[in-house]
C-alpha cells in the first residue's frame, strides 16, 4: 500500500469572519491511498485554533508523514492496540481523510464513498445558507443573496461584531418572513459569557430563532447544562464535542449537559466512525443532530454529503460551503434553491 500527501491551499473569495478571527486561507491535505491497481483519495482538513490535532504546520506535516510511514509498513490495521489505531484516535482530521480514502478505494476510486441515493444523484439534501460576519452592509448583502437563491434556512455568525447590529439584521428578516417561511439559526462560536448568555437567548427567542450554536466557550459543562435546561432558544453543541474521543466521556457530556442539538464535523469529531458514535448516542437520548462541513474542499464535502445521506435526517445541513473558494477542486456537487445534490 502506498500513501502520498498533497497540500491544498484554499483561498477564500471573501475574508471569512468568525468570533475567533478572520480567515483568508484554509489549508487541507489530499491523502491518496494506492493498492497498486487503484487508488482512493480523502481530505485531511484542519482549522487553525480549533482542530485538536493541529498545533502548527511543521509539526502537523511531520505527524502526517509518520502516519503515512506506519500505514505503508503495517497496512490498514485497526486492532485496538495497533499503532495506527492509537494514533488515529486523537487525530480526527487524519482519521477522516484515511476513512474516506479507503472507502473511495473500496468502491472503485470514483468518488463514491457510500453507495446510497445521494451518490447516485437521486437524493437532495436540504442545507442552510451561511451568512459570514463582516460589516452591516456586507452581512445584509449576503442575506439578500441567499434569500434570492431560494434558501429557506439561514445561519448567521454572531458575537464578533456588535450584537445589536446583528440582532437588527435578524429582526429585519423576521419582519419580512415568519418562522414558517424562513428558519433562522445563529452560530456564536462561544462568543458570549455565561453571565450575558441568558439575556441573549431571551432576545433571540422573540425572533423565533431555531437554534444557537455554542453560545458560551466549551469546557464549562455546569454553565452549559444550566443554559440548556432553561433556554427559550434551543442550544446546539459544536466546539463542546471537540477533543472528546472516549465513549464514556461522550456519554458523560451528553447526559450532563442534555443539549437540544449536537452538530457534527467529521474532521473535528472523530472522523466517520467517531461521528457515527456521536449520532448513535445522541439518538438514544432523543437529541437531534445535523452535519456541517469544517470548510473542506469539494473532496471532503462530497464525502460528508454521502455520509449524511446514510441517515434519514431531514434537518437542513451545514453543507453549502463549496462556493467559498476561488480555487476549489472540480466537483459534480450542485447547490440550488437551498439543496445540495450530485449531477
In DSSP notation, 314-333 reads -SPBB---GGGBSSPPP--E
Range 117-142 average pLDDT: 92
In the residue annotation, 265 being an active-site residue is answered as yes
Q: How confident is the model at residue 197 (pLDDT cuts 50, 70, 90)?
A: very high
Confidence class of residue 19 from pLDDT cuts 50, 70 and 90? low
| HSE (side-chain half, CA atoms, 13 Å) at 16 | 18
d(C-alpha 54, C-alpha 63), whole Å? 9
Residue with cell 433556554: 231
Element (H, E) at 157: strand 153-157
Question: Would you place residue 238 in the very low, low, confident or very high pLDDT band (cuts 50, 70, 90)?
Answer: very high
Q: What single-letter DSSP state applies at residue 288?
A: E
Asked if residue 13 has pLDDT above 80, the reply is yes
Neighbours of 202 (CB within 10 A): 12
Identify the burial level of 316 via C-beta atoms within 10 angstroms of its C-beta, where 0-12 means exposed, 13-18 middle and 19 or more buried.
buried
Which residues, other chains included, contact 9 with Cβ-Cβ below 8 Å and sequence gap of 6+? 25, 26, 27, 327
Q: Which domains does the chain have, with CATH numbers?
A: 2-106 (3.30.390.10), 125-342 (3.20.20.120)
- Pairing state between β 21-34 and 2-18: antiparallel
Measured distance CA(139)–CA(342) in Å, rounded: 29
How far apart, in whole angstroms, are the C-alpha atoms of residue 157 and residue 155? 7
The C-alpha atoms of residue 208 and residue 184 are separated, in whole angstroms, by 8
Radius of gyration of the chain (CA): 20
Assess whether pLDDT exceeds 80 at residue 26: yes
**Nearest CA to 269 among 96, 98, 140, 114?**
96
**Confidence grade of residue 82 (pLDDT, cut at 50, 70, 90):** confident
User: Do 167 and 200 touch, CB atoms closer than 8 A?
Assistant: no
Q: Which of 157, 217, 250, 342 is catalytic?
A: 157
* Interatomic CA distance for residues 264 and 273, integer angstroms: 12
Classified as helix, coil or strand, 8 is: strand
Predicted pLDDT of residue 114: 98
Of 200, 192, 195, 198, whose CA–CA distance to 218 is shortest? 192
77: pLDDT strictly greater than 80: no
Q: Any idea which residue has 480526527 for its cell? A: 92
Using the predicted structure, report yes or no on whether residue 333 has a pLDDT greater than 90.
Answer: yes
- DSSP symbol at 273: H
State the pLDDT at residue 20. 64
Q: Mean pLDDT, to the nearest integer, of 181-186? A: 97
Query: Which among 101-115, 135-149, 158-172 has the top mean pLDDT?
Result: 101-115
Share of the chain above pLDDT 90, in %: 83
Question: Is 110 considered catalytic here?
Answer: no
Nearest partner of 215 among 183, 195, 166, judged by Cα = 195
The pLDDT mean for the chain works out to 94
Short-list 324, 229, 297, 280, CA closest to 14: 324
Name, in order, each residue with C-beta under 8 angstroms of 86's C-beta and a sequence gap of 6 or more: none
Q: Is the pLDDT of residue 234 over 80?
A: yes
Contact between residue 317 and residue 125 where contact means Cβ atoms under 8 Å apart: yes
What is the rounded CA–CA span in Å between residue 338 and residue 150?
A: 6
Average pLDDT over residues 167-185: 95
Residues in the chain: 343
Rounded-to-integer distance, Cα 99 and Cα 283, Å: 23
Q: At 146, is the pLDDT very low, low, confident or very high (cuts 50, 70, 90)?
A: very high
What's the average model confidence in pLDDT over 35-47? 94
For residue 15, the model assigns a pLDDT of 75
Flag whether pLDDT at 74 surpasses 90. Answer: no
Say if CB 310 and CB 280 are below 8 A apart.
no
pLDDT at 18: 65
Three-state DSSP at 298 gives helix
User: In terms of pLDDT, which residue wins out, 254 or 76?
Assistant: 254
pTM over 0.75: yes
Q: How confident is the model at residue 42 (pLDDT cuts 50, 70, 90)?
A: very high
Catalytic residue from among 26, 250, 265, 342:
265
Amino acid at each position: 500500500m502506498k500513501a502520498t500527501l498533497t497540500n491544498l491551499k484554499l483561498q477564500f473569495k471573501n475574508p471569512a469572519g468568525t468570533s475567533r478571527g478572520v480567515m483568508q486561507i484554509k489549508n487541507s491535505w489530499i491523502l491518496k491511498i494506492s493498492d497498486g491497481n487503484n487508488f482512493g483519495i480523502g481530505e485531511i482538513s484542519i482549522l487553525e485554533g480549533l482542530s485538536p490535532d493541529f498545533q502548527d504546520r511543521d509539526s502537523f506535516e511531520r505527524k502526517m508523514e509518520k502516519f503515512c510511514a506506519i500505514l505503508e509498513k503495517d497496512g490498514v490495521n485497526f486492532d485496538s492496540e495497533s499503532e495506527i489505531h492509537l494514533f488515529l484516535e486523537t487525530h480526527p482530521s487524519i482519521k477522516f481523510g484515511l476513512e474516506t480514502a479507503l472507502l473511495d478505494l473500496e468502491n472503485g476510486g470514483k468518488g463514491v464513498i457510500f453507495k446510497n441515493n445521494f451518490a447516485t444523484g437521486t437524493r437532495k439534501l436540504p442545507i442552510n445558507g451561511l451568512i459570514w460576519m463582516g460589516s452591516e452592509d456586507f452581512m445584509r448583502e449576503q442575506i439578500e443573496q441567499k434569500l434570492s437563491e431560494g434558501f429557506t434556512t439561514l445561519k448567521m455568525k454572531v458575537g464578533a461584531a456588535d450584537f445589536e447590529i446583528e440582532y437588527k439584521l435578524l429582526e429585519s428578516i423576521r419582519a419580512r418572513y415568519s418562522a414558517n417561511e424562513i428558519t433562522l439559526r445563529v452560530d456564536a462560536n462561544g462568543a458570549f459569557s455565561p453571565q450575558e448568555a441568558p439575556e441573549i437567548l431571551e432576545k433571540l427567542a422573540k425572533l423565533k430563532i431555531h437554534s444557537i450554536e455554542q453560545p458560551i466557550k466549551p469546557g464549562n459543562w455546569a454553565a452549559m447544562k444550566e443554559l440548556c435546561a432553561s433556554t427559550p432558544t434551543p442550544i446546539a453543541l459544536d466546539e463542546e464535542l471537540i477533543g472528546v474521543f472516549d465513549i464514556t466521556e461522550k456519554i458523560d457530556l451528553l447526559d450532563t449537559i442534555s443539549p437540544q442539538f449536537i452538530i457534527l464535523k467529521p474532521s473535528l469529531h472523530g472522523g466517520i466512525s467517531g461521528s457515527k458514535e456521536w449520532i448513535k448516542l445522541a439518538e438514544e437520548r432523543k437529541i437531534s443532530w445535523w452535519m456541517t462541513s469544517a470548510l473542506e474542499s469539494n473532496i471532503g464535502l462530497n464525502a460528508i454529503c454521502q455520509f449524511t445521506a446514510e441517515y434519514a435526517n431531514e434537518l437542513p445541513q451545514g453543507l453549502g460551503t463549496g462556493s467559498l473558494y476561488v480555487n476549489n477542486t472540480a466537483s459534480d456537487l450542485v447547490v440550488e434553491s437551498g439543496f445540495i445534490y450530485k449531477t
